[in-house]
């Protein structure tokens, strides 16, 4: 670890704004995560993100603070720390916990069953003490360090309650043993059973919580693919060498056959076949690929063979970006979790106070004896469960984000799922969002100039634009064998089009009908989509065809059934926007809008209700940022993707419906979990205080409460969500 830190920080100081991602092992409950979070906050780190379920800790390191100082501080809290990006992922194993569990129960069972067995020696206090001490030692080893450091950090965790209850029973039993108090003072089986039952609960909980992170683990394993890299031998012959995917560099050529996992993003040089892209789309149907197509790391070859040139490696691949987005999303807390965290932070001190009040009330006022009063106080300590509250939201969120990722949906934060449930307006861009963006060039009409020259200018202007229409026009002209006219001072004007100047100083502008003088607009804008001007005079017009995306009508109908209003907001002509809106069922239309006007409309609607914006272009980025939830497609521009909260990896609009449904079910499960956690504690603590439960039964109830919450969250993995 130290060597890695030194490599990353030669001067042991990190620049302000450095993003840090660590793996922290050993957090036993959500209050442990709160303790780590509070420690980081005290170090001046703003908004640290700590995920108990996955062990991910992410934050931005402020200037003047050493990463070594932070890591050492987390270690002093009792946890192991690894850099998530450089160190090999530590395989989380439950074998040590299982061993402790078996040993503890080996000593506990004779104590618990002593009353049923005809062996007088099992009732001997010294034998019971001998059986209890190994179990207590395991309890101190398992819970003691975490309990001590949680108290030091200012956020006492569940282990404090467990250890306090077990220790109180042991001390009282020792007191009875030393004073000859008899069997009324003997609670050795209580100490052992509390620890053993909680260990059993932890074992079940760890197995269940591990299942919640399965989706990210599966994605991470895909990064460990072996690549068949082509190399040249000393004799000048091509040879194939097997190397880890992370050793590839841009420009390497790899061979891929059936069953191989694509090790990096790249372009097919030779070959044809089919690839399973469920990673991107959530669909298991193979996608045909041929020369010139792109392959994405983590996808699997199911038919054919390829020779691929590597274009993106390691953290640059789409797979790496997906993993990073999901991990960051898991760390962002929804508002409902912040409420649970605030309750959990004060829960343990409150329970200790209730336990003391229980003892005092029973002993001094109810007239219950010392032994029974202590038993009831211990039961209160043991039965209360802050972990159920702490696990209620993170486990549901982790499962939901993994489910979304497997369906081809990336969400930048768990809070996005929550906000999506309050959406009342969904605003759609037109081109590339509701339509396929697979444009066909219907006609290129010229006005007073040679058609071939106009095509050369069009190609020069459009080949550097990211707009879907520009890509279609470029492909059409290149297929016609058109040569580019050299232009300089090329630039894209948002909401208008492209502009450039030739060697003779002629200025060319290409864009929408807004470039035309008012007198020409009415006659031309209904028939043509792009207009080319030379020195402000029209020289060519281009007519383009587009088609509606599959599932667009289905999505709009779904939104209407949920009471969500739909709006089309586009820079395209009014008649085209109205045709599309009528075809898919959209209620409101704002056509011929500039990016500034789009932003104004978004801000106006956002002041009335929560809105979502779906777009894919540079001109959509401001509106996506301003919306409560920005939604983009994977084939969108980088500006649009960066501004969005939700990214549909394959551009399939049906997956937006899935995203809304995942959010709806997730919020329902979170509320169920929180209701159970609060209801359990509100009901269980008074029952224990009244003496209706023994500490042993209380420990069993507490262990079950955690497991119930986790398994309820796991239902999100198997629910049928359309």
Please tell me which residue, 169 or 446, carries the higher pLDDT value.
446
575 Cβ neighbours under 8 A, 6+ residues apart: 526
DSSP state of 394: H
CB 180 within 8 A of CB 386: no
Q: Per mean pLDDT, which range of 161-165, 249-253, 420-424, 662-666 is the poorest?
A: 161-165
Please tell me which residue, 685 or 382, carries the higher pLDDT value.
685
CB 541 within 8 A of CB 520: no
In this predicted model, what pLDDT tens digit does every residue of 223-256 receive, in sequence order?
677 889 998 877 778 888 989 888 899 999 999 9
Q: Per mean pLDDT, which range of 13-17, 300-304, 594-598, 651-655 is the poorest?
A: 13-17
Once rounded to an integer, what is the mean pLDDT over residues 671-693?
89
Please tell me which residue, 427 or 42, carries the higher pLDDT value.
427
pLDDT of residue 586: 95
Please tell me which residue, 1 or 666, carries the higher pLDDT value.
666
**Quick one: 168 exposed, middle or buried, by C-beta within 10 A (0-12, 13-18, 19+)?**
buried
> Where are the domain boundaries for CATH 3.40.50.1000 in the chain?
409-435+548-662
Q: Per mean pLDDT, which range of 50-64, 177-191, 515-529, 630-644 is the poorest?
A: 630-644
The Cβ of residue 504 has, within 10 Å, a number of other Cβ atoms equal to 5
| Catalytic choice (429, 616, 620, 650) | 429
CB-based contacts of 137-142 (< 8 A; 24+ apart in sequence): 138/100, 138/103, 138/104, 138/195, 138/199, 139/104, 139/163, 139/166, 139/191, 139/194, 139/195, 139/198, 139/199, 141/100, 142/97, 142/100, 142/195, 142/199, 142/202
45 Cβ neighbours under 8 A, 6+ residues apart: 59, 60, 61, 62, 65, 70
Residue whose tokens read 């963006």: 437
DSSP state of 186: -
The pTM of this model reads 0.65
In this predicted model, what pLDDT tens digit does every residue of 175-210 receive, in sequence order?
888 877 666 567 788 888 888 888 887 776 666 666
Asked whether residue 5 carries a pLDDT value surpassing 70, the answer given is: no
Asked whether residue 418 carries a pLDDT value surpassing 70, the answer given is: yes
pLDDT of residue 612: 93
CB 346 within 8 A of CB 284: no
The Cβ of residue 316 has, within 10 Å, a number of other Cβ atoms equal to 14
Distance of CA 629 to the CA centre of its chain: 15
CATH architecture of 2-83: 2-Layer Sandwich (3.30)
Report how far apart, in Å, the C-alpha atoms of 689 and of each of 8, 193, 344, 676, 703 are.
Answer: 54, 19, 20, 20, 18
Q: Give me the helices (H) in 451-570, please.
A: 451-462, 468-479, 518-524, 552-561
Q: Per mean pLDDT, which range of 185-199, 328-342, 425-439 is the poorest?
A: 328-342
Q: What percent helix, strand, coil does the chain show, rounded to 5? A: 55, 20, 30
Question: Of the candidates 543, 594, 547, 535, which has an alpha carbon nearest to the alpha carbon of residue 569?
Answer: 594
Q: How confident is the model at residue 371 (pLDDT cuts 50, 70, 90)?
A: confident
Instruction: Tell me the C-alpha distance between 446 and 572, whole Å.
Output: 22
Instruction: Tell me the C-alpha distance between 143 and 699, whole Å.
Output: 15
The Cβ of residue 339 has, within 10 Å, a number of other Cβ atoms equal to 14
In this predicted model, what pLDDT tens digit does every residue of 634-653 receive, in sequence order?
655 555 556 678 888 777 88
Instruction: Tell me the C-alpha distance between 256 and 24, whole Å.
Output: 36
Average pLDDT, the chain: 82
User: Is 159 considered catalytic here?
Assistant: no
Q: Give me the helices (H) in 414-551, please.
A: 414-420, 451-462, 468-479, 518-524
> Where are the domain boundaries for CATH 3.40.1110.10 in the chain?
440-545
DSSP state of 548: B
Longest dimension (CA), the chain: 116
Please tell me which residue, 584 or 53, carries the higher pLDDT value.
584
pLDDT of residue 522: 77
pLDDT of residue 11: 37
The Cβ of residue 332 has, within 10 Å, a number of other Cβ atoms equal to 19
Radius of gyration, alpha carbons of the chain: 32
Tokens for 80? 């192991």
> Where are the domain boundaries for CATH 2.70.150.10 in the chain?
226-260+265-312
Burial 117-146, CB ≥16 within 10 A → b, else e: eeeeebeebebbbebbeebbebbbebbbbb
Burial 344-368, CB ≥16 within 10 A → b, else e: bbebbeebbebbeebbeebbeeeeb
Asked whether residue 70 carries a pLDDT value surpassing 50, the answer given is: yes
- Which helix (H) or strand (E) covers residue 254, if one does? strand 253-256
Question: Of the candidates 345, 342, 329, which has an alpha carbon nearest to the alpha carbon of residue 394?
Answer: 329
How is domain 440-545 classified at the CATH fold level?
Calcium-transporting ATPase, cytoplasmic domain N (3.40.1110)
CB 81 within 8 A of CB 23: yes
Domain 226-260+265-312, CATH class in plain words: mainly beta
> Where are the domain boundaries for CATH 3.30.70.100 in the chain?
2-83
The Cβ of residue 612 has, within 10 Å, a number of other Cβ atoms equal to 27
Tokens for 288? 């045909």
Asked whether residue 493 carries a pLDDT value surpassing 50, the answer given is: yes
In this predicted model, what pLDDT tens digit does every residue of 507-516 receive, in sequence order?
999 988 888 8
Q: Is the dihedral of CA 296, 297, 303, 306 positive or negative?
A: positive
pLDDT of residue 12: 37
Please tell me which residue, 488 or 585, carries the higher pLDDT value.
585
Please tell me which residue, 396 or 150, carries the higher pLDDT value.
396
Domain 409-435+548-662, CATH class in plain words: alpha beta
């Amino acid at each position: 670890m130290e060597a890695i830190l030194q490599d990353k920080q030669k001067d042991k100081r990190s620049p302000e704004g450095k993003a840090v991602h660590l793996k922290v092992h050993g957090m036993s409950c959500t209050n442990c995560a709160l303790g780590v979070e509070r420690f980081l906050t005290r170090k001046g780190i703003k908004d640290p993100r700590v995920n108990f379920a996955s062990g991910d800790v992410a934050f931005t390191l402020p200037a003047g603070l050493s990463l070594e100082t932070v890591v050492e501080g987390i270690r002093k809290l009792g946890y192991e720390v690894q850099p998530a990006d450089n160190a090999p992922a530590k395989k989380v194993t439950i074998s040590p916990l299982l061993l402790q569990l078996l040993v503890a129960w080996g000593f506990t069972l004779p104590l618990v069953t002593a009353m049923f067995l005809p062996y007088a020696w099992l009732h001997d206090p010294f034998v019971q003490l001998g059986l209890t001490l190994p179990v207590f030692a395991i309890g101190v080893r398992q819970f003691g360090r975490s309990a001590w450091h949680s108290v030091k950090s200012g956020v006492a965790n569940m282990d404090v309650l467990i250890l306090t209850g077990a220790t109180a029973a042991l001390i009282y039993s020792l007191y009875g043993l030393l004073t000859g108090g008899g069997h009324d003072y003997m609670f050795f089986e209580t100490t052992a059973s509390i620890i053993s039952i909680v260990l059993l609960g932890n074992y079940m909980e760890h197995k269940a919580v591990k299942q919640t992170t399965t989706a990210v683990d599966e994605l991470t394993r895909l990064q460990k693919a072996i690549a068949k890299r082509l190399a040249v031998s000393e004799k000048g012959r091509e040879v194939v060498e097997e190397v880890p995917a992370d050793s590839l560099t841009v420009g390497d050529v790899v061979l891929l056959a059936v069953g191989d996992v694509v090790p990096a993003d790249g372009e097919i040089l030779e070959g044809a076949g089919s690839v399973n892209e469920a990673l991107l789309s959530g669909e298991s149907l193979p996608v045909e690929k041929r020369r010139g197509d792109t392959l994405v790391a983590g996808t699997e070859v199911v038919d054919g063979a390829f020779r691929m040139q590597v274009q993106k490696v390691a953290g640059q691949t789409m797979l790496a970006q997906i993993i990073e987005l999901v991990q960051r999303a898991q760390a962002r807390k929804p508002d409902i979790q912040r409420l649970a965290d605030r309750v959990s932070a004060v829960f343990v001190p409150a329970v200790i106070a209730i336990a003391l009040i229980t003892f005092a009330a029973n002993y001094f006022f109810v007239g219950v004896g010392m032994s029974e009063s202590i038993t009831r106080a211990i039961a209160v300590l043991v039965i209360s469960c802050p972990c159920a509250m702490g696990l209620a939201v993170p486990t549901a969120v982790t499962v939901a984000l993994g489910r979304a990722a497997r369906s081809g949906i990336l969400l930048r934060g768990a809070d996005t799922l929550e906000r999506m449930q309050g959406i009342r307006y969904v605003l759609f861009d037109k081109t590339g969002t509701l339509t396929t963006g697979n444009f066909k060039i219907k006609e290129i009409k010229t006005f007073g100039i040679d058609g071939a020259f106009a095509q050369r200018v069009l190609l020069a202007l459009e080949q550097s634009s990211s707009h879907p229409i520009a890509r279609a026009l470029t492909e059409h002209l290149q297929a016609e064998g058109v040569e580019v006219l050299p232009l300089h001072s090329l630039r894209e004007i948002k909401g208008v089009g492209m502009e450039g100047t030739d060697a003779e100083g002629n200025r060319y502008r290409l864009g929408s009908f807004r470039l035309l003088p008012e007198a020409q607009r009415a006659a031309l804008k209904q028939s043509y989509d792009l207009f080319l001007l030379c020195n402000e005079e029209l020289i060519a017009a281009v007519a383009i065809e587009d088609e509606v995306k599959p599932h667009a009508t289905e999505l709009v109908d779904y939104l209407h059934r949920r009471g969500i209003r739909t709006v089309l907001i586009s820079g395209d002509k009014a008649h085209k926007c109205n045709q599309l809106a009528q075809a898919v069922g959209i209620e409101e239309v704002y056509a011929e809008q500039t990016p500034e006007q789009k932003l104004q409309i978004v801000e106006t609607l956002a002041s009335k209700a929560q809105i979502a914006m779906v777009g894919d272009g540079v001109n959509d980025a401001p509106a996506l940022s301003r919306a409560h939830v920005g939604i983009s497609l994977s084939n969108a521009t980088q500006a649009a993707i960066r501004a969005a909260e939700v990214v549909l990896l394959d551009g399939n609009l049906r997956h937006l419906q899935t995203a809304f449904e995942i959010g709806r079910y997730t919020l329902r499960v979170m509320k169920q979990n929180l209701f159970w956690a609060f209801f359990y504690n509100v009901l269980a603590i008074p029952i224990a205080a009244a003496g209706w439960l023994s500490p042993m039964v209380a420990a069993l109830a507490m262990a079950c409460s955690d497991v119930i919450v986790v398994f309820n969250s796991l239902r999100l993995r198997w629910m049928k969500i359309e």
